[in-house]
Amino acid sequence: MPKDTKFNKAWLQRTDDEGNQVCQWLKQGTTDTTFQCVLCKTGDRECANQGWSAIYQHMKTKNHVEKIKALKNNLKFVTQSPKSQPLSTNDILETSSLRLDDVRKSPMLNFDQQITKAETLWALNVARRGFSYNSCDSIGDIFRSMFPDSKIAEQFNMQSKKISYVISHGIGPYFHRDLIKQLKRCEKFVLCIDEQTNVQNKKQLDLLVKFWSYDEGLVVTRYYKSILLGHAQANVLQDAIIN
């Protein structure tokens, strides 16, 4: 076979030995002669020498077969939190787990950036654990008592108003953009709605999406946004969802 076989988009119409469409995971790489598997998160794999055979060999690997089974059978699910839990924090932040390995690999930061990093990590922890914002009013004093030799603890300042702002206007938009990127990779998703009266006695419509996450290799349910409604007639709900 010639050593310049290019990725053929017609391959995306093929199926594997189990009848699964390969377009669910196969895409062209960064060059004309490479391919990538989004399920296995591979980099570029060469198909110049073997053409389709290179792709076929990959789809027979143990790791790929297991991921296909998970995709086909939907064995794992991440469900939304109970209604009593604040969807706008817990569900958003489950979108991306904080990994200490990634933190350790971060570049060198100046002093102000180190303070910002510490405050951001604490905000993530508050949202993940469901701590009340008011419980953070004295956390800076506690850290300074625990770590009297720390210059970062000395400057740490995360009271209730600030932590609310950091979560909603700082890190919240990042996870929202990440969710949009994941949805654009999916051919289909399920829109879930939950309309109820909140603690302020206002009608609130919560929108969630259920989809296959290629990053996590399972079906997930993620909070999208909340809409405050004056009234909750059917036509009002319809307009809010479509908009």
pLDDT tens, residue by residue, 10-42: 998 888 888 878 888 889 999 989 999 988 888
Predicted confidence (pLDDT) at residue 210 exceeds the cutoff of 90: yes
Angstrom distance (rounded) from CA 98 to CA 232 = 37
Residue 31: closest CA among 50, 12, 52, 4: 4
On whether the pTM is more than 0.75, the answer is no
pLDDT at residue number 108 = 66
pLDDT tens digit sequence for 142-180:
999 999 999 999 999 999 999 999 998 988 889 889 998
88: Cα separation from own chain's centroid: 14
Pair 93, 128: CB distance under 8 Å: yes
Per-residue pLDDT, 107: 57
- Residue 180: name the closest of 222, 219, 139 by CA: 222
Q: What is the pLDDT of residues 38-89, one digit of tens each?
A: 888 888 899 988 899 999 999 899 888 888 877 665 433 333 333 444 444 4
Spans of all domains in the chain:
9-73, 77-242
